[in-house]
Structure formats: structure tokens, C-alpha cells
Amino acid sequence: MPSVVRLPSVVRLPYVSLPALLALLLVLAGAGSVGAADRPAVELSKSQAGTGGSVTVGGSGWRPRALLTLLVCGQAEPKRGVTGGTNSCANADGRAVTTDAEGRFRRELPVVEPPVPCPCVVHVETVTGARAEEADAALQVAGHAVEPLPADAAGGRLSLLADTRLRGSGGLLTWFGSPPARTLVVTVGNVGTSPVRDPVFQVGTSHGVFAPEWQDQRWRGTIRPGGKARVELPVELASGAHGDYTVTLKYGGKVLAEHPWGVGRPWGVTLFWVLALLVVPAALFRAALAVVDRVHPRRPGHAARPARRVRLPAARGSAAAPWFAPEADRPEARRP
């Protein structure tokens, strides 16, 4: 009797799950489009404007209720960012704006000439928040000089090759409120096609919910294509700083590395104020007592008052009692 061959249930699975698979693909596609829409974006009312005019800057996809800065920067492109750091921007004529509950904003920005030649962009960056966000939009400043980007900015790209670390430790002065200082050590490699000469890095320190405060630091040296270099950059905080900080390294508008930094509390300052609150009042009290003693001197309490001489009444018929009379006036003393 021939045996009956039954197909396993696995063969019927694709036909049964095909609608579910299509729905899953649609959900993933929608999630990808939403993720792309949530990325920070910047739009300008016009792509070209002259010095003295203004453009309206709009944006979407930013964090809700975030504080942003708007700057006109030179030697920059939207895809590569600001190559020269904040020194390439017109910082004095920037504007600030706060996003709404949906992460949108709209602000008018005056058009000024940046300190370096174009190509120029309108650079938007967050001021608050643990994670920095930025976006650029191309802008042609009429009448401003235009120069091509340097070869190292066009073809040289730096990438992090090793872990980031902070070198150094605090001392006695730091315990008493001196500014904490470390050295940021990273190993970067040039993955581009052109050498990178004297790159300008941006080192930022952030604390809590505030965005990093960036400082431009130039590293002297040349990194050839395919080569690597060890970069050491100083990092310093304000006097009396303590708590959990984050050190961020950025190059060409891209974040290369982040490293936490826990700064201890300067207990020496607290000890100083405690001693000041105890010693200063005691010293003032002693000085006040010394002044009072000098102005109003006190009499010694153990000094006895001078005794009064008591005179007894003399007896009748005699000038004075013999035991009170002087020795020369006694009758015995006048006898030979």
C-alpha cells in the first residue's frame, strides 16, 4: 500500500504570512521616512542676498523647546560643514531662536560678510542639550569674495582610530578651586585622498543639559592619505567646576569622539570658608576687647582700699592717751 506523503506546514508558511510580510515592509518604510523627517533641517527664504539685507531661516526636525544659534559662516558647504570652525562665522551678528513643541522655528537673520571668503552657509546649532545638533543651508553673499575650499578640506577626511582618553590628574591647587585641566589624547587617521595640514579641531565641554562650549584648537602637523597621527589637545574648565562633564571632539562639523570626565568637588574651598567663619569672628572679638581695655582700663579687683586712721577721744585731764602718744612725749622717755 503506497504511503501518503504530506507536505510539512513550513511549505504553506510563506503563502500564509505574505500579507503580514508586506505590512511589515510598509511599516519599516514608514519608519525610515519618519526618521529621515526627524533629522534637523534648515531652509532659507532665498539662496542669494546682499550685505545689509536679510533672509528668513526656517527649520524642522529639531528637539522641542531647544535654543538654537543662527550664524553666517564662510569656507563651508552643507555636506562638509564649517571647515574653519566658529572663527569662520560672523559671531557678532548671529541670532538666537527657540523651537516650538514640534521642533520647528522661523527667524529673520541679517546678511553680513563673514571674516573668511565664501562659499558661505547659514549654520544652525543647538545651545542646550546633552547631544549637539547642527545643520547648514547654502547662501550666496553678493559682493563677498569667493575662494575654493582648501585641498585638505575637500579631499582629506579624518576618522577616529583608537579610544579617546584624558591624561592628567588634579592637584592641591585644584582641591582649592583652581581650574581643572586635562589633555585629550586621540589617534586619528586620514581616510581621504588629500593630505590634511594643520587641522583645526573643535573641543567642547558640556555639563548637565547644556550643549558643549566649543573652542577651536589647531594641531600642527600633516596627516597624509592613509596615515595616522596621535593628537593631544588641552582641555580646561572654569574655576571651581565640579560634577559630571563630557568632552567632545569635532572636526569638519562631524563629531569624532566623546569622553566622560568626572570632576571632584573642591573641598578645600569649603574648608577655607568654614575656617574663615570660625577664625574671623574670634579675631574680631579679641580685637574689640583690646580696644575696650585701652579706652577704659579696668581697676584690679584684689587691691585693698587704704585704711582710715581712727582717733579715739582723749581722757579728761590728759592731752592724749599714753599708748597713743609719741615715744618722745612719754614721761618715761623724758627721764634721764
* Domain-wise residue ranges, the chain: 39-149, 151-293
Least confident stretch, 57-61, 120-124, 127-131, 286-290? 127-131
Q: Which set of grid coordinates corresponds to residue 139?
A: 547662501
According to the model, what pLDDT value does residue 155 have?
53
Pinpoint the alpha helices (H) of 134-266: 151-155, 172-175
Please provide residue 319's backbone torsions phi and psi, each rounded to the nearest 5 degrees: -70, -35
The CA R_g of the chain, rounded to the nearest whole Å, is: 44
Nearest to 186 by CA among 224, 228, 131, 245: 228
Least confident stretch, 55-64, 86-95, 291-300? 291-300
According to the model, what pLDDT value does residue 23 have?
47
Higher pLDDT, 156 or 113: 113
Query: Mean pLDDT throughout 85-109?
Result: 90
According to the model, what pLDDT value does residue 314 have?
57
Task: Say which CATH superfamily domain 39-149 falls into.
Answer: Neocarzinostatin-like (2.60.40.230)
H/E stretch holding 215 reads: strand 213-218
Residues 109-132: tens digit of each pLDDT: 999 999 999 999 999 988 876 667
Residues in the chain, overall count: 336
Pinpoint the alpha helices (H) of the chain: 13-37, 151-155, 172-175, 267-295, 331-334
Higher pLDDT, 138 or 152: 138
Higher pLDDT, 97 or 193: 97
According to the model, what pLDDT value does residue 327 have?
56
Q: Integer distance in angstroms from the first to the last C-alpha of the chain? A: 185
Residue 210 CB contacts under 8 Å (≥ 6 apart), including other chains: 127, 128, 129
According to the model, what pLDDT value does residue 316 have?
58
Q: How confident is the model at residue 16 (pLDDT cuts 50, 70, 90)?
A: very low
Q: How confident is the model at residue 107 (pLDDT cuts 50, 70, 90)?
A: very high
* pLDDT at 24 > cutoff 60: no
Q: How far is residue 314's CA from residue 65's CA, in Å, rounded to a whole number?
A: 112
Q: How confident is the model at residue 26 (pLDDT cuts 50, 70, 90)?
A: very low
According to the model, what pLDDT value does residue 264 have?
85
Q: How confident is the model at residue 27 (pLDDT cuts 50, 70, 90)?
A: very low
According to the model, what pLDDT value does residue 3 have?
46
Q: How confident is the model at residue 319 (pLDDT cuts 50, 70, 90)?
A: low
Query: Mean pLDDT throughout 165-172?
Result: 85
Query: Mean pLDDT throughout 3-17?
Result: 44
According to the model, what pLDDT value does residue 108 have?
94
Residues 222-268: tens digit of each pLDDT: 888 888 899 999 999 988 888 899 999 988 778 888 899 988 888 88
Higher pLDDT, 322 or 147: 147
Q: How far is residue 55's CA from residue 140's CA, in Å, rounded to a whole number?
A: 11
Q: How confident is the model at residue 41 (pLDDT cuts 50, 70, 90)?
A: very high
* pLDDT at 4 > cutoff 50: no
> In 10 A of CB 106, how many CB atoms?
14
* pLDDT at 34 > cutoff 50: no
Domains 39-149 and 151-293 share a fold: yes
Q: How far is residue 311's CA from residue 314's CA, in Å, rounded to a whole number?
A: 9
Higher pLDDT, 148 or 49: 49
Cis peptide upstream of residue 119 (ω within 30 degrees of 0): yes
Least confident stretch, 27-31, 40-44, 81-85, 104-108? 27-31
**216, 75 contact by CB (below 8 A):** no
According to the model, what pLDDT value does residue 64 have?
92
**Domain 151-293 class in CATH:** mainly beta
Average pLDDT taken over every residue of the chain: 78
**247, 259 contact by CB (below 8 A):** yes
> How many Å separate Cα 245 from the centre of its chain?
8
Query: Mean pLDDT throughout 131-157?
Result: 78
Q: Which set of grid coordinates corresponds to residue 120?
A: 558661505
Query: Mean pLDDT throughout 44-70?
Result: 92
According to the model, what pLDDT value does residue 99 have?
94
